[in-house]
């Protein structure tokens, strides 16, 4: 009988070692998976195509607004394109200005602005100018 008890004890100890080994493997796998996810997340937080558009732009030709400001809306691919419009009363005299914001996103390197009529803006690689339909802007200094 003593022999059977010792044998059963050895079997239980061997099973315990097996499950302890499996638990350690699982912990190592989960740790490695979390490390990979964190690394990919950190590398994915680099600059986006839209970051080249950020800042204040001044019109150099065309008939658009004198200045536009492009800013991020959160941390994704969402932006605001802001400009100021003059406000007039009924007799035509200027009474002030109002700032308008239009949402925008970047698709294939082009900034798509959602206005009454959607339009695209691009940066001319040769001049660095921001080009919109009918106007051209230079980055303000």
| Mean pLDDT of the chain, nearest integer | 85
Higher pLDDT, 92 or 56: 56
pLDDT for residue 42: 58
* Residue 1 to residues 4, 8, 80, 137, Cα–Cα distance (Å): 5, 11, 83, 95
pLDDT band at residue 63 under the 50/70/90 scheme:
confident
pLDDT for residue 21: 77
> What tokens appear for 90 in the block?
């009924």
Average pLDDT on 110-121 reads 93
| Alpha-carbon 60 to chain mean position | 29
| Alpha-carbon 23 to chain mean position | 38
pLDDT at 136 over 60: yes
pLDDT for residue 14: 72
| pLDDT single digits (tens) 66-112 | 999 999 998 788 999 999 988 999 998 999 999 999 999 999 999 99
Strands 110-113 and 94-107: antiparallel
The DSSP H or E segment spanning 50 is none
Q: How many CA atoms lie within 13 A of 33 on its CB side?
A: 6
Higher pLDDT, 105 or 17: 105
pLDDT for residue 1: 60
pLDDT for residue 24: 78
Q: Which of 37-41, 94-98, 127-131 has the lowest mean pLDDT?
A: 37-41
């Amino acid at each position: 009988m003593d022999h059977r008890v010792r044998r059963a004890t050895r079997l239980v100890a061997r099973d315990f070692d097996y499950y302890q080994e499996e638990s350690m493997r699982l912990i190592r796998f989960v740790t490695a998976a979390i490390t990979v996810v964190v690394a990919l997340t950190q590398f994915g937080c680099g600059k986006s195509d839209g970051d080249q558009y950020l800042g204040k732009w001044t019109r150099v030709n065309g008939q658009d607004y004198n200045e536009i400001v492009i800013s991020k809306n959160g941390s994704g691919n969402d932006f605001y394109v802001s400009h100021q419009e003059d406000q007039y009363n009924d007799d035509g005299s200027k009474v002030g200005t109002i700032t308008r914001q239009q949402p925008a996103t970047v698709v294939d390197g082009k900034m798509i602005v959602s206005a009454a009529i959607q339009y695209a803006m691009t940066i001319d690689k040769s001049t660095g100018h921001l080009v919109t339909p009918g106007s051209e802007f230079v980055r303000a200094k």
